[in-house]
Chain A
Amino acid sequence: MKDSETEHFLTRPSTIRGLWWGFSIVLALTVAAQLFIYVKGYFTVDGWFGFGAVFGFFSCVLMVLFAKVLGAVLKRPRQYYEEYRDDA
């Protein structure tokens, strides 16, 4: 199945590369479109050029990093609760 002939077309490296390109172009277009389309800002800042893109990207980065830090504290092996029950 690893052979590129028999592999599903969605998992072929060439398709994935194409998807990255296509996706990047769409991303660029959504930002560029703001040159022609007026985005109404309710609080000034959210009407700035590309605000949605920057805000979306960085809030996600922040959330992932925060989850990562919190995970270091909160994550336990899956058997955590069961083990205790067996011990008791």
Chain B
Amino acid sequence: MPELISPALIMIMAALAIGPLRGHFRTAIILLAPLLTLWAIWQVPDGVQGTISFLSYSIEPVEGSPLRRLFATVFALMAFVGGLYAFRIAKWYELAAAFAYAAGAIGVSFAGDLITLFVYWELMALFSTVVVWCGGTAASRAAGIRYAILHLLGGIVLKVGIEGLVVSTGSIQITAMLAHDFHSWMILCGILINAAAPPLSAWLADAYPESSSTGSVFLSAFTTKTAVLALILLFPGEPVLIGVGLFMVMYGIIYALLENDIRRILAYSVVNQVGFMVCAVGIGTQMALNGAAAHAFAHIIYKALLFMSAGVVIYRTGKHKCTDLGGLFRTMPLTTVCGIVGALSISSFPLTSGFTTKSLISQAAANQGLVWVYMLLTAASAGVFLHAGIKFPWFVFFQRDSGLRPKDAPWNMALSMLLFAGLCILLGLFPEWLYVLLPYPLDYQPYTLGKVLFYLQLLLFSGLAFFLLLPLMKRTDTVSLDVDWLWRRAGPWLAGTLARSVVVPLQVSAGRFLMACQVYLTQVSVRYLGQAHTDDSEERGLFARSWPIGTTALWIAILLSAYVLIYYI
């Protein structure tokens, strides 16, 4: 039954093989397994590919559709280019974990039922935590634990929702629904936690920048985008998502503007971009869902490109703060150019992939007559150019001369950046290549003179605002408080205060009480059984004496022989 084998299993096998293999064999597995997976993804036909019976549920490990293949394709592509980028400097266990993580994402893409989805969902949570831990610092260990707790919690919320759905409908099918009762709300919340939606957005900017310079490239791609896919499959047209998405869009911009760590800026812009997709799923028309899928595809590529260029900078300089960097364009021209291509794509500059995909979402909002949504998304597009499009390359590669003269990227990192930079531009020049892969038929022309002119005005004047307001955006070496303050500061403080004011006094009084009990019981036993024999040489009552161990052994031997005798008689 080969049709039941998910392409994700190829990635799992590769993840298992990375550890034992050495040298060129390991490199071969890292580079070939994602390509093989990519081939397998395109062999999956539409529809459910057979079922397995498990505990009276019919499990559907593989279900194909254009949407599912689209997401799986970009996940496999990401694993290939990420592997190429990382294989020379990343630890083998980081690569193995990243491959298992990618397998989880591909498995979710093809999951035909909610149980399969949940299993692969948890696989992602586990192995993405390992990737965070591979940062190897005390900060990454702590961030990894916070990340794991939150994602396991999200998994439980999702599971409660799935079980509620099974109890009420008896079905584990993945079908479109709206959040109208307890279990559908729980499923929605479980998915939204992975999408970094409010109020729990902080995990993303907390954990991703603490991973290694290669780990963050993998992390940027899978978790949030599988959540977008799950939203498209389960909650298309859920009106709550419009508001949630708009909040994420603005949250990402504002926090990125306050940030000093270069990868944290990019992490906040992940939230911002996923916000566009979540909002599109909320709009829910065919145009909007096409937009969400296309934007997720393009986003994975340019965001990975941005994280790769940041990763090269961190790998070469060991520095990750805007305040320490600047002027790197002199010695890192290739990384600079690739970073700028990624930055222009995320800003949806004409001729890049961001323009041809994000404008689908704006168009969908306009078609539905959602004037506020359209205006806020347009303002956010300008804001993206502000916080990621200019800010990232400006503070890292230009700004002032930091005196750093690092070498440019090693060949494999350069090659992987060039591949993704090329894709960003190709999808910008030939959007129809992506449009034919979208779930719904699409008749849309992104390049009309009016649209291009409108976006040029919007973005270029946003650039003007950046340079005029530069004095206001002086980098400070700070962190910005977020909801995670509750468990990073308020929680420990509350626990500490409780310990000091309640637990410690309780322990003291409990200790006194136990001591008093012990004294009383000793007195009672001495009174009725006599003083212990060892305390002095006086003769005691029969049960208070100590007996030589030999006597006990002798008695046991006698009793056992008696038992054996009686048994045979």
The chain A residues found within 8 Å of chain B, CB to CB, are: 1, 8, 10-11, 23, 26-27, 30-31, 33-34, 37-40, 42-43, 46, 50-57, 59-61, 63-68, 70-71, 73-78, 80-82, 84-85, 88
Q: A38-B450, A55-B379, A78-B479 are in contact. Are A67 and B254 (CB under 8 A)?
A: yes
Q: Please give, as numbers and ranges, the residues of chain B lying within 8 Å of A73 by CB-CB distance.
A: 481
The answer on a CB contact under 8 Å between A53 and B457 is yes
The answer on a CB contact under 8 Å between A55 and B382 is yes
The answer on a CB contact under 8 Å between A84 and B489 is yes
Return 24 A-B CB contacts under 8 Å, by A number: A8-B330, A31-B457, A39-B454, A42-B366, A43-B371, A56-B382, A56-B457, A56-B462, A57-B465, A59-B382, A60-B383, A60-B461, A60-B465, A63-B379, A63-B383, A64-B472, A71-B478, A74-B482, A76-B478, A77-B479, A78-B260, A78-B479, A80-B479, A81-B488
C-alpha gap A55/B462 in the complex (Å):
9
Partner of A64, one of B139, B453, B473: B473
Beyond A57-B462, A64-B386, A78-B260, 8 extra complex contacts between A and B, CB < 8 Å:
A11-B327, A56-B459, A63-B254, A63-B386, A71-B257, A74-B480, A75-B480, A77-B477
The answer on a CB contact under 8 Å between A75 and B479 is yes
**In the complex, B456 has a CB within 8 A of chain A:** yes
The answer on a CB contact under 8 Å between A52 and B457 is yes
C-alpha gap A2/B365 in the complex (Å):
52
Among residues of B, the one whose C-beta sits closest to the C-beta of A7 is B401
Q: Please give, as numbers and ranges, the residues of chain A lying within 8 Å of B375 by CB-CB distance.
A: 43, 46, 55
C-alpha gap A64/B449 in the complex (Å):
30
What is the total of A-B residue contacts with beta carbons within 8 Å?
150
- From residue A69, how far is it (CB to closest CB) to chain B in Å? 10
Partner of B492, one of A68, A71, A84: A84
Among residues of A, the one whose C-beta sits closest to the C-beta of B489 is A84
Q: A52-B458, A64-B469 are in contact. Are A34 and B479 (CB under 8 A)?
A: no
C-alpha gap A55/B40 in the complex (Å):
47
The answer on a CB contact under 8 Å between A33 and B473 is no
Q: Which of A43, A59, A84 has the most CB of B within 10 A?
A: A59
Partner of A60, one of B386, B450, B455, B480: B386
Q: How large is the interface on B (under 10, 10 to 19, 20 to 34, 35 or more residues)?
A: 35 or more
Q: Please give, as numbers and ranges, the residues of chain A lying within 8 Å of B456 by CB-CB distance.
A: 30, 52
**In the complex, B378 has a CB within 8 A of chain A:** yes
- From residue A58, how far is it (CB to closest CB) to chain B in Å? 8
Among residues of B, the one whose C-beta sits closest to the C-beta of A63 is B383
**In the complex, B560 has a CB within 8 A of chain A:** no
The answer on a CB contact under 8 Å between A37 and B480 is no
- From residue A83, how far is it (CB to closest CB) to chain B in Å? 10
Among residues of B, the one whose C-beta sits closest to the C-beta of A43 is B371
Among residues of A, the one whose C-beta sits closest to the C-beta of B254 is A67
- From residue A41, how far is it (CB to closest CB) to chain B in Å? 9
C-alpha gap A65/B330 in the complex (Å):
32
The answer on a CB contact under 8 Å between A64 and B465 is yes
Partner of B461, one of A52, A67, A74, A84: A52
- From residue B209, how far is it (CB to closest CB) to chain A in Å? 12
C-alpha gap A38/B459 in the complex (Å):
18
- From residue B496, how far is it (CB to closest CB) to chain A in Å? 6
C-alpha gap A50/B390 in the complex (Å):
22
**In the complex, B476 has a CB within 8 A of chain A:** yes
Q: Please give, as numbers and ranges, the residues of chain B lying within 8 Å of A65 by CB-CB distance.
A: 472
C-alpha gap A60/B449 in the complex (Å):
24
**In the complex, B355 has a CB within 8 A of chain A:** no
Q: Please give, as numbers and ranges, the residues of chain A lying within 8 Å of B482 by CB-CB distance.
A: 74
B325-341: CB near A (< 8 Å → 1, else 0) gives: 00101100000000000
C-alpha gap A73/B330 in the complex (Å):
37
The answer on a CB contact under 8 Å between B466 and A60 is yes
The answer on a CB contact under 8 Å between A67 and B488 is no
Q: Please give, as numbers and ranges, the residues of chain A lying within 8 Å of B462 by CB-CB distance.
A: 56-57, 59-60
Among residues of B, the one whose C-beta sits closest to the C-beta of A65 is B472
Q: Which of A8, A52, A56 has the most CB of B within 10 A?
A: A56
Q: Please give, as numbers and ranges, the residues of chain A lying within 8 Å of B327 by CB-CB distance.
A: 11
Q: Which of A33, A37, A55, A64 has the most CB of B within 10 A?
A: A64
The answer on a CB contact under 8 Å between B453 and A33 is yes
The answer on a CB contact under 8 Å between B378 and A61 is no
C-alpha gap A4/B454 in the complex (Å):
39
**In the complex, B464 has a CB within 8 A of chain A:** yes
B379-412: CB near A (< 8 Å → 1, else 0) gives: 1001100100000000000100100000000000
The answer on a CB contact under 8 Å between A75 and B383 is no
Q: Please give, as numbers and ranges, the residues of chain A lying within 8 Å of B466 by CB-CB distance.
A: 60
- From residue A4, how far is it (CB to closest CB) to chain B in Å? 14
Q: Please give, as numbers and ranges, the residues of chain A lying within 8 Å of B278 by CB-CB distance.
A: none
**In the complex, B374 has a CB within 8 A of chain A:** yes
Partner of A27, one of B374, B460, B476: B460
The answer on a CB contact under 8 Å between B457 and A50 is yes
**In the complex, B253 has a CB within 8 A of chain A:** yes
Q: Please give, as numbers and ranges, the residues of chain B lying within 8 Å of A67 by CB-CB distance.
A: 253-254, 257-258
Partner of A37, one of B382, B450, B460: B450
Q: Please give, as numbers and ranges, the residues of chain B lying within 8 Å of A23 by CB-CB distance.
A: 463-464
- From residue B269, how far is it (CB to closest CB) to chain A in Å? 13
Partner of A88, one of B371, B455, B492: B492
Interface residues of B in 127-163 (CB under 8 A from A): 139, 142
- From residue B471, how far is it (CB to closest CB) to chain A in Å? 11
Q: What 3 pairs between A and B have smallest CB-CB spacing?
A: A52-B457, A60-B465, A59-B379
- From residue A72, how far is it (CB to closest CB) to chain B in Å? 10
Q: Please give, as numbers and ranges, the residues of chain A lying within 8 Å of B493 by CB-CB distance.
A: 84
